[in-house]
Amino acid sequence: MDIAFLTESFLKLLSGLPLTLELTFFAFVIGALLALLLALMRDAPLWPLRAFVRTFVFVMRGTPLLVQIFLIYYGLGQFRPFLQDLGLWSVFREPYWCAIMALALNSATYGSEILRGALGSVPPNEIEAARACGMSGVLLYRRIVLPIALRQALPSYGNELILMVKATSLASIITMMDVTGVAARLIAESYRPVEVFIAAGVIYLAINLTLSRAIAVVDWWLSPHLRRATPKQAVPHG
């Protein structure tokens, strides 16, 4: 166990950190928006919409993420002329955007399931009370349903963020130099897999720890109604 080499690798691996974080952030945000769309579509009145979502979720959950990445990056390359005509080729040619797209779509699938559960768990009584006040449609969703549902979804969705960090490592297979990509190169050059593994592992664990803490803070911040009541001043009698 060469400590000097370990530290050296650690520093080299940090060069991949920005890319890992970028991929995570973009894919997560785009994925979350798509997840919301899918979750709302899932219970839409139009049957084709519902069927589409169910099929989409079934396919995405049943196939490996790597296959999805390959389909978008290598597979769509087969349709280059078509995409060039649409002006989209510059996007689909980049492994960066292909990775983000695949990661976002995959995350949207699991995210939509989480959001569906959360939307379904909003107490009907509270919705009824809102309707009784005259709220409906977008206002009802914006002020009552979504705030409650999002708080409910937070722990599971937070977990989804951590899974996303791990998933970005697959981008290294399509030539992206994220932390895992740099790690792969370092292992190939130095033949010291154990030290590189430890160094890379530490970086990922540090990211996850930070994100877990941040999520816990957001959760705490959004739930003052679940904390113990602070004792108020006793109202004097008489």
Partner 1 sequence: MTDLLQLVSFGPDGWGRSLALAALMTLAVASTGFAIGLVIGGLLAWGRIAGNLGVRLGAEAYTTVMRGIPDLLVIYLFYFGGSLAVTNLFQSFGREGFTGVPPFLAGAAAIGCISGAYQAEVFRGAFRALSPGEIEAGRSMGMHRWLLFRRIIAPQIARHALPGIGNIWQMALKESALISITGLVELLRQSQIAAGSTRRPFEFYLIAAGIYLTITWVTQLGFEAMERRSQRGIHRNTP
Interacting residues with partner 1 (CB under 8 A) = 58-59, 61-68, 70-71, 74-79, 162, 165-170, 172-173, 180, 183-184, 187, 191, 193-194, 196-197, 200-201, 204-205, 208
Instruction: Between 11 and 71, name the residue whose CB sits nearer to partner 1.
Output: 71
User: In the chain, what are the helix, strand and coil shares in percent, each to the nearest 5?
Assistant: 85, 0, 15
- Cα–Cα distance, 39 to 136 (Å, whole number): 19
Which CB sits closer to partner 1, 28 or 204? 204
How near is the Cβ of 193 to partner 1 at its closest, in Å? 4
**Nearest CB to partner 1, comparing residues 157 and 204:** 204
> With contact defined as beta carbons under 8 Å apart, do 111 and 32 qualify?
yes
Coil/strand/helix, residue 153? helix
Output the smallest distance, CB 131 to partner 1, in A.
Answer: 33
Closest distance of CB 177 from partner 1, Å: 14
Q: Please, what is the minimum distance in Å from the beta carbon of residue 55 to partner 1?
A: 11
**Which residue, 191 or 221, is less far from partner 1 as judged by CB?**
191
Contact 96, 176 (CB under 8 A): yes
Cβ distance to partner 1 smaller for residue 39 or 182: 182
Cα three-residue angle 208-214-216, rounded to 5 degrees: 100
Let me know the angle formed at the C-alpha of 169 by 165 and 174, rounded to the nearest 5 degrees: 140
Min dist CB 26 to partner 1, Å, is 18
Which of 110, 106, 114 has the alpha carbon at shortest distance from 170? 106
